[in-house]
Amino acid sequence: MPQFFSNKRLIVLLVSIIVLVALIGTSMKERDALTIPEQFFKDSVGWLQSVFYKPANSVAGLFESVGEMKDMYEENKLLKSRLNEFVALSEELKEVKQENAELKNELNIDPSTGISNYQTFHANMIARSPDRWNDLLTIDKGKQDGVEANMAVTTPKGLIGKIKNVQPFSSTVQLVSDVDRTNRIAAMTQEDKNVFGTIEGYDSEKDMLIFAKIPVDTKVKKGQTVITAGNGGIFPRGIVIGEIMDVETDNVGTTQTAYVKPAADLYDINNVMVIDRGAQTVTPSSEEGDEE
Amino acid sequence: MKQLLLSGTLFVLFLIEGTVFQVFAPEQYDLEFQLIPRFVAVVVLLVGMYLSPMFGVIFGVIFGLLHDLIYTDLVGVYMFGIAVSAYIIGYLAKVFQLNWFTSLVLVLLGFTMLEFYVYELFSLINITNLSFNSFIHDRYLPSLILNGIFMLIVYFPVKRLLEELSESRRQEN
């Protein structure tokens, strides 16, 4: 057997370990934007990825729709009965919206600056990080389409994450299930009273989000819906995050922690919506008014 | 020409890991376990065994760096991991009589080294909070089987390509 490590190679190994630590250290830092070469690589590989992803996805979709065919009849009946309810609801919504606008007008609040005001645009997923340690997606809209870092990303069912990095023609989405110190969302439940807290991370054993910092004297129950609170600055108010499955009191006894099952399926994502809050010029007084 | 074919194959496998494979990932069918494709690493390990450890290191660095840039935020983790495991396996391969079975064992050993190294490193810097038990049961063992099957599928074509490559290199020298 040849000599496993000659002296020279041992030195190379040690130097590369040092370089590894240095590289990890520098790339772990909070970065505003990626370097130009990184952006270039991500963009060009992203284009190739979409060439692979889209046909595979449509083939999978074909199989899925064949499978769905047999439930179609039942579903159709159910949906038709729901349609009448929907008409009534949408009429009601229209009325409420109008009333809301009138009231806002009377109070002199500019309708474009509310914390639940936003516009969305659509994007397609083109790749996903294959090692599940980093839960990152790549989508096919980038800076050119108006995507910016920290925008919220949702599917029709609910919140899935936020934009982490933006390249000119693609961007990276950090899912809510990504374990990261900085991955925090201001959240609330709305039953009788607004209860505020923070989504502080993801429990990968239970596959649930951790909804922490809930004041101990407030009541949260299993089955309540958790939505974004909108006072973190990043996300608008009212995006569905998930449903509370379990509530625990912390061992210190000052706050409660709830486990939240995400409303969106984090593994079956095709089309996503990026939420643009627009330029926010919220005056402190209107912010306080919304807190109550 | 042959070298280009090898690099092209590795790049296509790299793209498949993140795109085509993710469409059929097991989690969306409510399965508990995770299947982690390490197709690029498997072929790089074969390169280290059949060509030379140094070639394993070169391909490991290139495709590990690509993986770091595209699929993670941290630069260097896979670059180092794939290169070092290809080097170690490449040297171990000189002890064995290489056939499909010993190759399989060595590739799975390299895969194990890579997975454990990445798991330990990521728990050290708090990227994951998965416990060791669920790491073994939900992640490591299913992925071991997946990559073993993949290795058996690509073994003969990749071996032929690599042997032709090392033959042409010998003629040049």
- CATH number at A43 reads 2.40.10.350
Comparing CB atoms, the residue among A26, A57, A203 nearest residue B23 is A57
Minimum mean pLDDT range among A27-31, A118-122, A146-150, B50-54: A27-31
For tokens 């061992």, the residue is A251
Q: Which residues make beta-bridge pairs with A259?
A: A210, A246
Measured between CB atoms, does A19 come within 8 Å of chain B?
A: yes
How many domains would you assign to chain A?
Answer: 1
Per-residue model confidence (pLDDT) at position A278: 66
CA distance B43 to B82: 11
Please give the residue range of the domain that contains residue A228: 34-279
Alpha carbons A195 and A190: distance in angstroms, whole number: 7
Provide residues of B within 8 Å CB-CB of chain A.
15-25, 27-28, 34, 36-37, 66, 69-77, 79-80, 83-84, 91, 94-95, 118, 122, 125-131, 134, 139
Of B23, B69, B70, the CB nearest to A56: B23
What ipTM was reported for this prediction?
0.83
- Judge whether A216 is closer than 8 Å to chain B, CB to CB: no
Q: Is residue A266 situated within a structural domain?
A: yes
Residue A18 resides in a domain: no
Is the pLDDT at A232 greater than 70, yes or no? no
pLDDT tens for B136-171 read: 998 899 999 999 999 999 999 999 999 888 888 888
Per-residue pLDDT at A216 exceeds 70: yes
C-alpha dihedral sign at A221, A222, A227, A229: positive
Average pLDDT, chain B: 89
B85-88 long-range contacts, CB within 8 A, separation 24+:
B85/B41, B85/B45, B85/B60, B85/B110, B85/B111, B85/B113, B85/B114, B85/B117, B86/B44, B86/B45, B86/B47, B86/B48, B86/B53, B86/B56, B86/B57, B86/B59, B86/B60, B86/B110, B87/B48, B87/B53, B87/B56, B87/B57, B87/B60, B88/B113
Token pair recorded at residue A146: 């108006």
Q: For residue B11, which amino acid is it?
A: F
The answer to whether position A291 is within a domain reads no
Taking CB atoms and an 8 Å cutoff, what residues of chain A touch B84? 13
Asked whether residue A21 is assigned to any structural domain, the reply reads no
In-domain check, residue A29:
no
Size of interface A-B (CB pairs under 8 A): 121
To 5 degrees, how large is the angle CA B39–CA B41–CA B43?
A: 70
Residue A1 in this model has a pLDDT that exceeds 70: no
Query: Do the beta carbons of residue A241 and residue A159 sit within 8 Å?
Result: yes
Q: Do A268 and B28 touch (CB under 8 A)?
A: yes
Question: Please, which residues have CB within 8 angstroms of residue A195's CB and are 6 or more apart in sequence?
Answer: A188, A189, A214, A215, A218, A220
User: In this structure, is residue A74 part of a structural domain?
Assistant: yes
Q: Give, in degrees to the nearest 5, the angle at Cα B110 between B97 and B104.
A: 45
Which range among A190-194, B117-121, B127-131 shows the weakest confidence by mean pLDDT?
A: A190-194
Is residue A247's pLDDT more than 70? yes
Of A36-45, A90-99, A276-285, the range with the highest mean pLDDT is A90-99
Residue A4: per-residue pLDDT: 59
Split at pLDDT 50, 70, 90, the class of A289 is: very low
- Under 8 Å between Cβ of B26 and B33: yes
Task: Please write the tens of the pLDDT for every residue from B11-30.
Answer: 999 999 888 888 877 777 77
pLDDT of amino acid A5: 60
Q: Residue A116: its pLDDT value, please?
A: 65
Residue for token pair 């991370």 = A201
Q: Which of A65-74, B30-39, B97-106 has the lowest mean pLDDT?
A: A65-74
**In angstroms, what separates the C-alpha of A67 from chain B's closest C-alpha?**
13
Q: Which residues pair with A198 in a beta bridge?
A: A186, A212
**Interface check A20 vs B, CB under 8 A:** yes
| pLDDT tens per residue across span A87-140 | 889 999 999 988 988 888 888 776 555 666 777 888 888 888 888 888 888 998
Per-chain mean pLDDT for chain A: 81
Contacts of A132 in chain B (CB under 8 A): 34, 36, 139
Which residues on chain A are in Cβ contact (under 8 Å) with B91?
A: 1-2, 4
The strand pairing partners of A194, in sequence order, are: A190
pLDDT score, position B78: 92
- SS3 assignment, position B29: helix
Q: Is A127 on the interface with B (CB under 8 A)?
A: yes
Residue A23 lies in a domain: no
Report the candidate in A241, A138, A127, A133 with the shortest Cα–Cα distance to residue A179: A133
Q: What's the pLDDT score for residue A291?
A: 41
Q: Is the Cβ of A60 closer than 8 Å to some Cβ of chain B?
A: yes
B19-43 mean pLDDT: 84
Nearest to A180 by CA among B81, B140, B73, B27: B73
- Best of B19, B75, B84 to disrupt the A interface (most A CBs within 10 Å) is B19
Out of A2, A126, A201, the one facing B19 most closely (by C-beta) is: A126
Inter-chain residue contact B23 with A28, CB threshold 8 Å: no
Q: Which is higher by pLDDT, B75 or A32?
A: B75
Report the pLDDT value the prediction gives residue B125, as an integer from 0 to 100. 83
Q: Answer yes or no: do A131 and B72 touch at CB < 8 A.
A: yes
Residue A130 lies in a domain: yes
pLDDT of residue A233: 67
Whether A288 has a pLDDT exceeding 60, the answer reads no
Sort out which chain B residues have CB atoms less than 8 A from A180's CB and list them. 127
Res. A285 pLDDT band, cuts 50 70 90: very low
pLDDT reported for residue B82: 93
Q: What value does the mean pLDDT take over residues A266-292? A: 62
pLDDT of A283 over the 70 cut: no
Among candidate residues A196, A195, A197, A145, the one with its CA nearest the CA of residue A171: A145
